[in-house]
C-alpha cells in the first residue's frame, strides 16, 4: 500500500506555491518524494520559499503567455522531466453582483484564474505526454458549483476550470495524461483570516457545513497527492470537492 502514494523521481510545477493552499500542495508533493518547482509572480517570495523548501524556484506572471512557456521549459529542464502540473495561482477579484461588475476586474480574474490554466496546460501537457504519462491538477472552487449573490467573476472562472479539466481529460487521456480538478470549500488560510475573524459569518457558514469547521490547506494538499500518485491512476476528468460537506447539506 505504501507505494500507492509514492512520487519518488517525479517532477512537478506548482503555481501560486509561496503561501496557502499552493504551498501546502508543494510541501505534500515534496514529502511524497517529488521535486517541485516553486512559483509565484513575486520573485522575492518565490526565492525565499524555494530556499525554505530546498527546491528550485521560478517566478512567473501567469498573465504573460511567454512567461508561462518559460516556466514550463525551464521547469522541465531543471527537474529533468515534468510529470505533475498543479495550476493553483488565482485571485478572488471584487465582490458584488454581476449587475455592478467592474469589467476590468472581470478581465483580470478571468486572465489569472482561467486563461492562464488553459495556456499553462497547453505548454505542459505535450511535454508530459512525451514522457508517456502525467497528471495535471487544476484548482477550482466550491463557488463554481453553487449560486452566490456576491462571488461573481471568481465563481464563473472556477466553474470554467472544472470544465477545462473535463475537456482536457478527454483530449489527453489517450496519451496517458490525467487531468482533474479540486474544488476546496472554506479553507483556513492567511487570505481567509478576515472571514475567520468575523463571528457572524463563521456562525452562518459553519451551520452550512456538516463538519462544523473550516478545512485546512493540508487537507486540500492530501487530495492533490492522491490525484498525482498511483493511488489516483484511474481517476480522470473528476472534480474532487474538499468542503466538509457544504455542497450536499441543506443547512439543517
pLDDT digits (tens, 9 = 90+) for 44-60: 999 999 999 999 999 99
User: Contact, 46 vs 38, CB < 8 A?
Assistant: yes
First to last CA, the chain: 38
Query: What pLDDT score does 10 carry?
Result: 98
- Work out the pLDDT band at 1, boundaries 50, 70, 90: low
What's the full length of the chain, in residues? 252
pLDDT class of 215 with cuts at 50, 70, 90: very high
| 191: CB partners within 8 A, 6+ apart | 20, 92
Query: What is the DSSP pairing of strand 35-39 with strand 84-87?
Result: unpaired
What order do you get walking across the sheet with 84-87 strand by strand?
Answer: 35-39, 11-15, 84-87, 134-139, 177-184, 239-242
Give the C-alpha separation, 205 to 114, whole Å: 26
Dihedral sign for Cα atoms in the order 191, 30, 74, 124? negative
Catalytic residues: 154
Distance, C-alpha 209 to centroid of its chain: 22
How far apart are alpha carbons 206 and 61 in whole angstroms?
35
Residue entry with cell 475573524: 197
Q: Enter the C-alpha cell of residue 157.
A: 472562472
Question: Which residues of the chain form beta strands (DSSP E)?
Answer: 11-15, 35-39, 84-87, 134-139, 177-184, 239-242
pLDDT at 2: 66
Report pTM. 0.96
Average pLDDT of span 150-171? 97
Candidate CATH numbers 3.40.50.720, 3.40.50.280, 3.30.300.280, 3.40.80.10; the one for domain 2-243: 3.40.50.720
Distance, in Å, from the CA atom of 94 to the CA atom of 102, rounded to the nearest integer, reads 8
Amino acid at each position: 500500500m505504501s507505494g500507492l502514494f509514492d512520487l519518488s523521481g517525479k517532477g512537478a510545477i506548482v503555481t501560486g506555491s509561496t503561501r496557502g493552499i499552493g504551498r501546502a500542495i508543494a510541501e505534500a508533493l515534496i514529502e511524497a518524494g517529488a521535486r517541485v518547482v516553486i512559483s509565484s509572480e513575486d520573485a522575492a517570495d518565490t526565492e525565499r520559499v524555494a530556499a525554505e523548501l530546498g527546491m528550485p524556484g521560478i517566478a512567473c506572471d501567469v498573465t504573460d503567455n511567454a512567461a508561462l512557456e518559460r516556466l514550463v521549459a525551464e521547469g522541465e529542464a531543471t527537474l529533468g522531466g515534468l510529470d505533475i502540473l498543479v495550476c493553483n495561482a488565482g485571485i478572488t477579484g471584487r465582490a458584488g453582483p454581476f449587475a455592478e461588475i467592474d469589467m476590468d476586474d472581470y478581465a483580470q480574474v478571468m486572465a489569472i484564474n482561467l486563461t492562464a490554466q488553459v495556456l499553462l496546460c497547453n505548454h505542459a501537457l505535450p511535454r508530459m505526454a512525451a514522457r508517456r504519462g502525467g497528471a495535471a491538477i487544476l484548482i477550482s472552487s466550491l463557488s463554481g458549483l453553487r449560486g452566490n449573490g456576491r462571488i461573481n467573476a471568481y465563481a464563473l472562472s472556477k466553474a470554467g476550470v472544472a470544465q477545462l479539466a473535463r475537456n482536457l481529460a478527454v483530449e489527453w487521456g489517450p496519451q496517458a495524461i490525467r487531468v482533474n480538478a479540486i474544488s476546496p470549500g472554506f479553507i483556513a488560510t492567511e487570505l481567509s483570516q478576515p472571514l475567520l475573524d468575523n463571528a457572524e459569518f463563521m456562525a452562518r457558514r459553519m451551520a452550512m457545513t456538516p463538519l462544523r469547521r473550516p478545512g485546512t490547506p493540508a487537507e486540500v494538499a492530501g487530495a492533490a497527492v492522491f490525484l498525482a500518485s498511483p493511488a489516483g491512476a484511474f481517476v480522470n476528468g473528476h472534480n474532487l470537492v474538499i468542503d466538509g460537506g457544504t455542497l450536499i447539506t441543506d443547512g439543517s
